[in-house]
Structure 1
Amino acid sequence: MTCSNHTMYRCNKLGEILKEKYISQYKFCKFTGLSMSTISRIINNPKANITEDMSLVISEALHIGLDDWHYWRFNDLYAPNGFTNKHLKLLDKEMAIYNVSLVYQPYNSNNAVNICTKRERIRREYLNANMRVDMAGLPEMTIVDFDVMSHHNNLTIEEISNFYANMLRAMINFAREMGMYQLKYYTKNFGAQEYLACHLTRHDQVNFPSSISLQNKRVAKKLGFRQATLSGNLLPNFYVMTF
């Protein structure tokens, strides 16, 4: 969670509090009903994303206020200058989790960037994307294009959807670390859909692109995006995440 100007972010010190109170992680899980993996994630990552409901459960179990187990830190990666080399190295780190290396082409004073996957021909799937940041008000990042492509045959929609999910997770973490207020994602922007469709299995070619679009919407919701609205009306393929 970041403060209103996104130059700072909130960290938790749950691990310190539990040590001070001589409470083991196992016992705290019993107190709260939260899983061991959840408690471990929060303790091992001071910047972990914690839901409001979860924060309330933890505060009540410890009999302390929210501010008693959180503190604020300056965000050294706050990005008023857009996609600089320093920030793109952070995206490299996120993508490395999925064994993906990228090539970047920043433009528009570093406020936009084209992304291509290195060594694409030896990969079963690869990513071509375009992202932009808007720093005029609260900082926002928009995923404008997000194309999965392939030089291989007999891909399945499930494979493509899983790859999308991993790439989207990396983008979410990247946007959060850059100090963005909001990440926007258009789930049906397939500039290369005809090219990709010819590499699918014969069965999945019939269902493409409606099935992949539906799965991507499910992935977006599962990862924490919500459907965007305009004048009170839901936008069918536009999703946002606020940090």
Structure 2
Amino acid sequence: MNSAAKPGTAARSARRPASQADVAALAGVSSQTVSRVANDRPNVEPETRERVLSAMRMLGYQRNSAARALTLGRFHALGVVTFDVTAQGNARTLAAISRAAQAAGYSVHVVCIEDETEEAVQRAVRLLTDQAVDGLAVIEAQILDRPGFDITSGVPVVVADGDPDRRYTSVDTDQAAGVTAAVQHLLGLGHRTVRHIGGPQNSYAARRRAAAWHGALKAAGAPVPPIDFGDWTAASGYAI
């Protein structure tokens, strides 16, 4: 037996995981001090904090994440509802959310909905909130175009690409400005007009882009050709 180990440590380790009381006893502090260190509270002397952390490492102490979440009112988890992870834009948005969440110490729970109905969306939201998330992100939420439909979650909701009525916090690129700049650039190169291959007509982003394309051509006095609609796939764009 390691002579540095305190009596009963080996027996305790064999029986059960280390508790805050075990850490407090080894570090010579109170359980409240161990709790403050475990929860990253600032009001602990550096020497005392290091002694507690050292005791945690020696005993293999693991924080009770569930208890900590209930104490702090935060679960460090985010829920994401998306409707098509095969679409490049949605996949890249989901990847960006995951990277940012991990960098901030959050986990991400994802539900992908194939059938975009109000009932399916609410089931997905309930599933995620039942898993105790701090907030929800909804990607490409065309369903929010439907009059009277709201996401009932009980936690903050952020929408990426959707919600034309701005009922929720929204994160998106400036679709109109991007398309206008592209049209003006092409006209400036001497082209008589610019054709547009649009996304699905039920897409908020696609509608914004089509409207901006039309407006930019009209403002420049250029002919406005018929618009062709695709479905975000390379195959549909190639066919058009």
Higher relative contact order (CA 8 A, sep 6+): 1
Structure with the higher fraction of residues in strand conformation: 1
User: What is the TM-score when the length of structure 1 is the normalising length?
Assistant: 0.22
Normalization by structure 2: what TM-score? 0.23
